[in-house]
Amino acid sequence: MAVNVLLYSCGHREMSEKEHQDANTPAGKVGQVAYKAAEVTGKVAKGAGKELSKAAHEAHEGWKEASEKDKTKQ
């Protein structure tokens, strides 16, 4: 339990007033937009990966079915 509290306290901290000010500068705003774009891109890539995996599975099933049909013809 103490380890979890220690890890949480090391990883989590509140932003200082200076960090808030920096985040609201033009460069900070660009950084925020870039972060959101990367976040959305990651979600899209994850979804695309799932779709590709599904398509690969379906292609494999089709391959197996065609193989079985060839075996029954012979």
The predicted-structure confidence for 38-58, as pLDDT tens digits, reads as follows 999 999 999 999 999 999 999
Q: How many angstroms separate the CA atoms of 21 and 15, rounded?
A: 10
Query: Please, what sign has the CA dihedral across residues 49, 50, 53, 59?
Result: negative
* 56 found inside a domain: yes
* 51 found inside a domain: yes
Locate 23 and state its tokens.
């985040």
Locate 15 and state its tokens.
């932003």
* 6 found inside a domain: no
* 1 found inside a domain: no
Tally of domains in the chain: 1
* 66 found inside a domain: yes
Looking at residue 13, what is its pLDDT?
60
pTM equals 0.49
For residue range 11-26, what is the model confidence (pLDDT) as tens digits?
A: 546 778 888 788 888 8
* 15 found inside a domain: no
**Nearest one of 46, 44, 20 to 32, comparing CA atoms:** 20
* Containing structural domain, residue 56: 27-74
Query: Please, what sign has the CA dihedral across residues 33, 35, 41, 47?
Result: negative
* 55 found inside a domain: yes
* 36 found inside a domain: yes
